[in-house]
Structure 1
Amino acid sequence: MNRSIHKIIDEHIKRWEMQKKQGVSPATTCNVITISRERGSHGQQVAEALAQALGFDLFHHEILESMIKESQNTKVLLETLDEKGMNIVDDLVAALVHEHHLWPDEYSKVLLRVLNTIGRHGNAVILGRGANFALKNINALRVRIVAPDDLRRKVVQQELGLNAEDAQKMMVSTDANRTAFIRRYFNADTQDPANYDLVLNTGTLSIEKAVSIIQSALA
């Protein structure tokens, strides 16, 4: 049964608040994985399978954008951390703004706070939204999923029921929008492999194999 995005977020907040009351400290081991992906590379499927295999929470675009929207009106997300954790998140945001030479608007500041709050709580797979750039000072594994153009085009065709030409346009447009988003909010290049700990090609690796490799890298 599908749960609403609001209910999923509410469950996260309640669990985090309970951990705060119980004095549960953030894990020192790597328990956050960020997934960046090319359109049609099965990045979301890898993220979903990985979260299930690890028993971690999956934070994808819809959940993250809803958290950002809610956090613009209330500080409830940040307040699920203890006072020290809240200060750390604010310090991380300030450091990121300085490091990336950003002129932050309200969206980018909330985005950074939401991603770093998730990162501080841990046990999370975060898909997209530049999490690998936002969590540079958190012990996270940063993964990029890629695939050959012809394979990605076929995936987009099948997903959306498009012909090859329209699928190619959709693929290029989505990747361009993601690149522009990262450039705007993190002043960084999605294509630079130095921004990731692992770059996996699903043209030669199955989703299951990709998940296995990521799990091995966490050990």
Structure 2
Amino acid sequence: MSKSINKMIDEQVKRWELGKKEEIPVKKSINIVTISRESGSQGYAVAKKLCQETGFDLFHNQIVETMIETSKNSRVLLETLDERGMNIVDDIVSNFVNEHHLWADEYSKLLFKILTTIGKHGNAVIVGRGANCALKTQQTLRVRIIAPINSRCAQIQKTLYMSKDDAQKHIVSTDANRSAFVKRYFNSDASDSSNYDLVLNTGTLAVEKAVQVIKCALHGN
């Protein structure tokens, strides 16, 4: 595990604990954004820019996975919620598993609990890990970032210094793995537009413009 990511998680827990002690009221407006993305569509760049402009906390794959590993041996993350909040998390996990006929192993239970815990605290952008499936409340805006294959291939070539052929293989492999993850843990189709509130094409919208659209949706404009 990266020491910097562990430090980020420690700092996040402190912020959550501070909010819990001060009994900061939960906002009724949308305060969670989930971002699902096609490989090379600049979904992470959109998420990062959105956090910079809104002050929301950013949670991406590596951070979520580290939080899951941390929770295997400690309840510190879940204990940032009060007792009622923890009970609600358990209920949400149980109901989702039953509703979607899923077999809940240790990983899936922890994944659901971490995503739901982040959702309960609010003011966050979660990238990937099927968060749009786990968090289906009025306070969540579920976004899907897509782009034409040529644009995505060019982006992968640029950022990962790959040949065109290797970039295409990377896209196929990455998208397949993400789809398989969502299917396995949420029994859902990652590419199904009905699973999202907003689908944005960065082949026609620049990252900055996509962020502005999301912010408008957040504020109901």
Give the TM-score, by structure 2 length: 0.96
Amino acid at match of 2:49: A
Amino acid at match of 2:184: R
Distance of 2:111 and 2:26 partners within structure 1: 20
Matches within 5 A, 1:46-57: 46-57=46-57
SS in 2 for 1:28: coil
Q: Could you tell me which residue of structure 2 aligns to residue 79 of structure 1? A: 79
Q: CA deviation at 1:28?
A: 1.5
User: Any unmatched runs of 5+ in structure 2?
Assistant: none
The RMSD of aligned alpha carbons is 1.2
Q: Could you tell me which residue of structure 2 aligns to residue 107 of structure 1? A: 107
Residue 125 (structure 1) aligned with residue 146 (structure 2): no
Q: CA deviation at 1:27?
A: 1.9
User: Any unmatched runs of 5+ in structure 1?
Assistant: none
Matches within 5 A, 1:1-219: 4-137=4-137, 139-219=139-219
CA change 1:110–1:138 in 2 (3 A) is farther
Q: CA deviation at 1:117?
A: 0.3
SS in 2 for 1:199: strand
Q: CA deviation at 1:85?
A: 0.7
Amino acid at match of 2:130: G
Q: CA deviation at 1:138?
A: 5.8
Amino acid at match of 2:210: A
CA deviation vs aligned residue, 1:52-96 (integer Å, no higher than 9, x gap): 110110001111110010011111111101111111111111111
CA change 1:137–1:91 in 2 (3 A) is farther
Distance of 1:136 and 1:109 partners within structure 2: 17
SS in 2 for 1:6: helix
Distance of 1:169 and 1:162 partners within structure 2: 10
SS in 2 for 1:35: strand
Distance of 1:181 and 1:25 partners within structure 2: 34
Distance of 1:42 and 1:61 partners within structure 2: 15
Distance of 1:72 and 1:134 partners within structure 2: 20
CA deviation vs aligned residue, 1:144-179 (integer Å, no higher than 9, x gap): 000000110111111111111111000000000000
Q: CA deviation at 1:120?
A: 0.3
Percent identity between the two aligned chains? 60
Q: Is the 8 A contact 1:102 1:186 kept in 2?
A: yes
Distance of 1:137 and 1:186 partners within structure 2: 16
Q: CA deviation at 1:137?
A: 3.7
Distance of 1:98 and 1:139 partners within structure 2: 23
Distance of 1:106 and 1:195 partners within structure 2: 25
Q: Is the 8 A contact 1:16 1:80 kept in 2?
A: yes
